[in-house]
Amino acid sequence: MSISGHVPEHIHELTEKYAAEIVAIRRHLHQYPELSLEEHETAAFICERLDEFGIPYQSGVAGNGVVAEVRGVGDTESGSGSGSGSGSQEVVALRADIDALPIQEPEGLEFCSRRPGVMHACGHDIHSAALLGAGRILHTVRDQFAGTVRLLFQPSEERIPGGALGMIEAGALRSPAVNSVIGEHVNPDLPAGKVGFRAGFFMASVDDVSITVRGRGGHAAKPHQNIDPVIITAHLLSSLQQIVSRSADPLVPSVLSFGRVIADGAHNIIPNEVHLEGTFRTTDDTWRYEAHEQIRRIAGATAAAMGGEVDVEIRVGYPSVINEPNLTERLRSSAVEYLGQEQVVDIPPAMWAEDFAYYGRETPACFYNLGVGTPGSENAPVHSPLFQADENCIALAAGLLSYLALTELS
């Protein structure tokens, strides 16, 4: 099959036709976010929309995942409808994540989250709406292509070990095997209307670091009678930063950050324990595991020198996202065909992490960025309660996913 000249225009027309519907889907998902492993209503809503579109699917994959398929019925040789969808065994997978974050969204947005303490602050509502929209578009033009587009609605991206592994283990990339996997992620640093690609290394690995510092609590007025875990923790936080500043190769990006420190004492009570939670990210697997050992060693030595003890737990998380170069270059060229040269940009690597990385360990994969920023505005980053997206990106994302899938099937 080759993509005929009228297909991009047809995709644009269908995108415009379904735009309001796709945006409404996103707004519903935004109002009813669910955390990782809890996406029951989200999955049910996705299945309801697939039923409306007439797209077959399997639910309950890896927990709350949904796998759907749009099967083309075009004949690759004659260009006529075969009616069987068997003219090609080519399979392209499009992936969206469906979970939300434990963040309280401030009031003010017309379709603000109705679930206290839960928010789609990472754009997964946009990813899911765009994928549903792409399914709708592709199902409409199924007589114009051969092969299969598999839609992966993946749960639990935000929580290690990640839903991608479960989807893969459940066979989401098999029967028949997919030839490539394509995914997108919102980027508020890019204005809506633009998309960004990078071949090769794109995103860092990620590991969760949990440390418990144990001392001996007591009255804050008699610190000499205690072993203060708060003071030990203060030294520990400073000492651990030397791993990045003095042990890491300066040419190998690394990040060690602690976002949660709990010392559950009081203004006049020194606690027995302090709990820390953080993240370690890098771009080199050998150094990654060396750093784990240094975290354990420095934490133990620092606490022991001050009379305390530590427990260190490091949960190995997602590997680095590596975009297969040939696939990425093809998709970038297709994006230029669909959006125009000025709307497609090259982007630098980032220390974000994504379990999309696992798909790339199984088959050629490409993860690109979808611009959602509003020009002239102070666009808050993802994982912020102030994150918002220019909704002009949503239908565009659906149309682009559709076109990328079609060009990969050609």
Contact of 208 with 317, CB cutoff 8 Å: yes
The β-bridge partners of 365 are 181
Name beta bridge partners: 73: 146
Helix (H, G, I), strand (E, B) or coil at 107: coil
CB count within 10 Å of CB 194 equals 22
Helix%, strand%, coil% for the chain, nearest 5: 35, 30, 35
Bridge-based pairing of strands 195-197 and 365-373 is antiparallel
Read out DSSP for 357-404?
A: HHHHTTS-EEEEEEEEEPTTS-PPPTTSTT----THHHHHHHHHHHHH
Active site residue ranges: 99, 157
| Torsion angle, alpha carbons of 200, 201, 202, 208, to 10 | 150
Q: How far apart, in whole angstroms, are the C-alpha atoms of residue 28 and residue 370?
A: 20
Peptide bond into 381 cis (omega under 30): no
Among 172, 220, 137, CA closest to 62 = 172
Contact 167, 61 (CB under 8 A): yes
